[in-house]
Structure 1
Amino acid sequence: MRIAASILVGVILYLFGFFTSSMAVTANAWAFSDGELNDTGLVAVLLLFLVWGLVFLRHRWPWVPFVAGGLLTAGWGDALMLLIAIFHLVIRAPRRQAITASAVGTGLIAFSTLRMCLAPAEHNPFGIFFLPDSAQFTELEATIPPEDSHLAIRIITVAAGVIALCTALGVGALLRRTRRMRAVESIAEREAQRNESLTAEIARQSERELLARELHDTLSHRLSVISLHTGALEVGARTDPDVAATASALREEARASMEDLRHLVGGVRSGDLTDPRPGHGTSSPPSRATMSAIPELISSVASTGTVIRPLVVIQDVDSCPPALDRAAYRIVQEALTNAMKHAPNVPVTVDVAVSAARGIQISVSNPLPRGSAPVEVPPRPRYAPGSAREPGAGAPAQKWGPPGTNPEPHGAHLASTGSGSGLVGIRERAEMFGGDASIGVIGNEFHVQVSFRSFSPPN
């Protein structure tokens, strides 16, 4: 639409300008012989067809019609093309060029207007409005305005020059100012958006710093104390291999937890916890939170005395997106944690199959503890309030042991610490990456099954 409108305006200016320039030929005595247009004048009129074609360059190269209009104004007496060029230069040209063009154009128009006022009335284009009735005079006298109209012709000439020049300069300056104000408003809007973005980022960074400090101050001390006590227990229980092995496993878990905490705090502070960038340093070794570390995770859980029946087949793990790789690891980790909490001292079956073609299939199941009812566990609402423990195995942990004793089973004291957020986190991770999660009781077993669609290796 803008291009079509520009072309239409150019055509109108071309036709109107050619008409006014043809009328202005009367201001040149060399174009007439015995009151009629001679060959020189005819050639000059025909050249106007080419000269006025320059009006279509007014947007991109306004100096071209300015030069042509200046020549027409100085030698022809027609200032319309010059006024058009001044208008576009005032709008688009740099400030110094616009002032220069306005000053030069004003001088040329003043010179042309003065020359027309001093020229004989019959050579003034505005004299055509004051010609007498040709029936009362000879053919030559009919082209000469009456003497009493000469003053009116000069006044009209001066008024036309002043009005045209003021219109070109005034409207051009107004449009230039409007464009400048729009540009300033656009810049101000972009800066306001940038400031809002920076303010929000600063607020998020402050929240991340506060969260990171709380995580570090709350957990770092407790993990350090656990590590020191288990180290002392390992040294003091050298005579009992089982106790020493258990203490060693606990100390290793405490050390790994410290590394995970360090990585978590660093990720929270930098804001790249869920999508680590290539080459960005982390404090946690890659093997601690990837699918390649699932066997190590299973061994760590088995070292606590939990019976694990694993079947792990992992292929093409290098082509898996990092965020999905981490999510799959966390799902297996949370499923095992849930089993240890709510079904202690029962075997846990872990099936993990990973390949680029078939995707990721995760299944963790365990028999229900004694006294639990095989009731289907409905999914919890997302972010639902409440303090109910995770449905894990569906029933409180039982206390049993050898005859004559009633020891608390390994992990039973953890059953009351569940808030239901672990299974909700599994479902959220599955939804986040377009996977499916099925969690609940099937027969006499509690199952956590998660599947993700295939992931293609990078080209």
Structure 2
Amino acid sequence: MNTETSATPTRDVAHRMRGERRRRVLRTVGDVAVGLVLFVVGIFVSSLSTIGVPGAFEASGELSNIGVLVVLLFWILWATVFVRTRWPWIPLAAGALSGLVGGDVLLLLIGMFHSVIRLPRRAAIVTTSGGTVVVVWATVWACLRSPALNPFAFLFVPASQPLMGVDAPDPPAGTALGVDLLTIGAGIVALAIAVGVGYLIRRTKRMRTVEAVAVRQTQRSESLSDELARQSERQLLAQELHDTLSHRLSVISLHSGALEVAGDDQRSVAAAAALRREAKASLDDLRDLVSGVREGTPGAQRPAAGGSSAPVVASVRSVPDLVESVAAAGVDLRPVLLLQDIDRVPTVLDRAVYRIVQEALTNAMKHAPGVPVTVDVRVSAHDGARIVVSNPLGVQHRGGEARAAGHGVDLSGTGGGMGVSGIEERARMLGGQAAVGPRGSAFVVDVQMPPFADRGAPPTPEA
């Protein structure tokens, strides 16, 4: 896995965390700003409502000592508006106290609004019912008192007429009725807004939660459906691989075994034995691959089957065995293997090095039979992995000579053209470079992988 690619999820997580912290700070600043506005408005409204508190004003209309204490109490009660979103029952209780002593119920309505939104259903019903009782009580009390003690009276009484004090004259009967109707209407509207809008927002939030859950369930169902479809495809592919290749490899193994027993020439017997071992190892690899395809973990490391000449596990540690098995088949190999820090090689790179060497040797056997093949594999944590496989050019024109020498048959037409592209793709996925093609008088596969001293790659199924 590329280091840049593997770091992308970490950067995305860090970006989301910074965005979440920024949103949290903005919400806090917004709550404080709204709280300040509500506090200022509330103090103004509560100051007006002090005329309805018994004993708050002297006979001369001046604020009494009780009135001063009431105003200070209102300031303290309105300080609870800043915790309305976290503990909405606190401003609700403070607002209920203000309404019961004859003050306004604005703080109570704010507490009811946030209680409806944020508290559990049963607690919201209890607080709403209690708050409604207090609002009704405050409204009835305001209507039963003298209209001169009602804050709405200033809308009906001339400015020259005093409103506060025991000597303040009562307004006309029509004016008193208007004040009472305005008081009742304001109470009903305020209560409807606090409770109705609160329940509307609560329902909206609940619907959004339900929609989010439904979206997650839908995504999960789609994911399960896709997984079932992939599982079905894997089962079909595994069955096709097994049915198609298992029979042919078994036949090859049987024929090579018979040739090994009946052969007279020592070289033919050795070649037949090598062929039989490779066929048996290919059957083991095929069973391992089929199991991986069925389980959805192709390329995962599994124990090697007993008696296999070629390794089942594709890793840097197995490269010498791979080279030995190819040399046993009659290929003139000239290997140079310097393998260091193999216990620290990331899993993906571990398999990629083996597969690249395997594919390069396969190409050499197909297109350059009977000629020496140089294999240079160097692996270390500090320098990375360097793979160079080369063979002389022009062997395609000497295929008959090579076959006459008894080193192999012409396999140039057996490939599907995927070897070179596969090598380049593996190198590119791991952040390396691959150069495949003629170089002077030789055909060279040259692959360079980056160092892995500070890299970590999680196990990833091989494609």
TM-score, with normalisation over the residues of structure 1?
0.85
1:261-313 alpha-carbon deviations (Å, 9 max, x no partner): 12222222233335x4xxx7556697642122222222212222221111111
Q: Label 1:138 to 1:153 Cα distance change in 2 as closer, same or farther (>3 A).
A: closer
1:139-168 alpha-carbon deviations (Å, 9 max, x no partner): 965453234422212111111111111111
Structure 1 partner of 2:227: 201
Match runs of 1:220-299 below 5 Å: 220-237=246-263, 240-274=265-299, 276=300, 281=302, 288-299=313-324
Structure 2 partner of 1:378: none
Does residue 441 in structure 1 map to residue 442 in structure 2? no
Percentage identity across aligned positions? 48
Q: Is the 8 A contact 1:29 1:123 kept in 2?
A: no
Structure 2 partner of 1:367: 392
Structure 2 partner of 1:188: 214
Q: Label 1:109 to 1:155 Cα distance change in 2 as closer, same or farther (>3 A).
A: same
Give, in whole Å, the separation in 2 of the partners of 1:136 and 1:205. 87
Give, in whole Å, the separation in 2 of the partners of 1:449 and 1:145. 104
Structure 2 partner of 1:213: 239
Unmatched runs of 5 consecutive residues or more in structure 2:
1-25, 457-463
Q: Label 1:135 to 1:82 Cα distance change in 2 as closer, same or farther (>3 A).
A: closer
1:406-434 alpha-carbon deviations (Å, 9 max, x no partner): 95854333222123211221222221212
DSSP-derived class of the 1:337 partner: helix
Q: Label 1:127 to 1:138 Cα distance change in 2 as closer, same or farther (>3 A).
A: closer
What displacement does 1:206 show?
A: 2.4
Q: Which range moves more in the overlay, 318-327 or 23-32?
A: 23-32
2:413 partner amino acid:
S
Alignment length (residue pairs): 426
Give, in whole Å, the separation in 2 of the partners of 1:109 and 1:422. 83
Q: Is the 8 A contact 1:314 1:354 kept in 2?
A: yes
Give, in whole Å, the separation in 1 of the partners of 2:248 and 2:90. 81
Give, in whole Å, the separation in 2 of the partners of 1:265 and 1:110. 77
Structure 2 partner of 1:429: 426
Q: Is the 8 A contact 2:303 2:313 kept in 1?
A: no
Q: Is the 8 A contact 2:436 2:444 kept in 1?
A: yes
Q: Is the 8 A contact 2:367 2:410 kept in 1?
A: no
Give, in whole Å, the separation in 1 of the partners of 2:183 and 2:162. 27
2:50 partner amino acid:
V
Does residue 327 in structure 1 map to residue 352 in structure 2? yes
Give, in whole Å, the separation in 2 of the partners of 1:128 and 1:183. 47
What displacement does 1:246 show?
A: 2.1
1:114 partner amino acid:
V
1:203-252 alpha-carbon deviations (Å, 9 max, x no partner): 32222222221111111111122222222333334x65433322221111
Structure 1 partner of 2:64: 38
Q: Label 1:413 to 1:113 Cα distance change in 2 as closer, same or farther (>3 A).
A: same
Give, in whole Å, the separation in 1 of the partners of 2:173 and 2:227. 81
Bigger radius of gyration, 1 or 2? 1
DSSP-derived class of the 1:214 partner: helix
Does residue 123 in structure 1 map to residue 124 in structure 2? no
Structure 2 partner of 1:398: 399
Q: Label 1:139 to 1:363 Cα distance change in 2 as closer, same or farther (>3 A).
A: closer
What displacement does 1:17 show?
A: 1.4
Q: Is the 8 A contact 1:131 1:146 kept in 2?
A: no
Give, in whole Å, the separation in 1 of the partners of 2:73 and 2:125. 30
DSSP-derived class of the 2:437 partner: strand
Unmatched runs of 5 consecutive residues or more in structure 1:
373-392
Give, in whole Å, the separation in 1 of the partners of 2:83 and 2:126. 19
Give, in whole Å, the separation in 2 of the partners of 1:87 and 1:135. 37
Residue in structure 2 matching 1:19, options 44, 62, 67:
44
Structure 2 partner of 1:452: 449
Q: Label 1:396 to 1:23 Cα distance change in 2 as closer, same or farther (>3 A).
A: same
Q: Label 1:143 to 1:4 Cα distance change in 2 as closer, same or farther (>3 A).
A: farther
Residue in structure 2 matching 1:309, options 310, 313, 334:
334
Give, in whole Å, the separation in 1 of the partners of 2:66 and 2:138. 21
What displacement does 1:458 show?
A: 6.8
DSSP-derived class of the 1:364 partner: strand
Does residue 79 in structure 1 map to residue 105 in structure 2? yes
2:71 partner amino acid:
V
Give, in whole Å, the separation in 1 of the partners of 2:238 and 2:162. 105
DSSP-derived class of the 1:454 partner: coil
1:55-89 alpha-carbon deviations (Å, 9 max, x no partner): 11110000011111111112224211111111111
Q: Which range moves more in the overlay, 64-73 or 286-295?
A: 286-295
Give, in whole Å, the separation in 2 of the partners of 1:424 and 1:34. 101
Q: Label 1:320 to 1:225 Cα distance change in 2 as closer, same or farther (>3 A).
A: same
Structure 1 partner of 2:184: 158
What displacement does 1:35 show?
A: 4.3
Q: Which range moves more in the overlay, 3-12 or 100-109?
A: 3-12
Q: Is the 8 A contact 1:436 1:452 kept in 2?
A: yes
TM-score, with normalisation over the residues of structure 2?
0.85
DSSP-derived class of the 1:309 partner: strand
Q: Is the 8 A contact 1:302 1:308 kept in 2?
A: yes
Residue in structure 1 matching 2:128, options 102, 111, 122:
102
2:278 partner amino acid:
E
What displacement does 1:113 show?
A: 1.2
Q: Is the 8 A contact 1:131 1:143 kept in 2?
A: no
Q: Label 1:6 to 1:138 Cα distance change in 2 as closer, same or farther (>3 A).
A: closer
Structure 1 partner of 2:138: 112
Residue in structure 2 matching 1:318, options 325, 332, 343:
343
Q: Is the 8 A contact 1:342 1:397 kept in 2?
A: no
Q: Which range moves more in the overlay, 136-145 or 193-202?
A: 136-145
What displacement does 1:134 show?
A: 3.6
Q: Which range moves more in the overlay, 100-109 or 55-64?
A: 100-109
DSSP-derived class of the 2:107 partner: helix
Q: Which range moves more in the overlay, 109-118 or 196-205?
A: 196-205
Structure 1 partner of 2:22: none
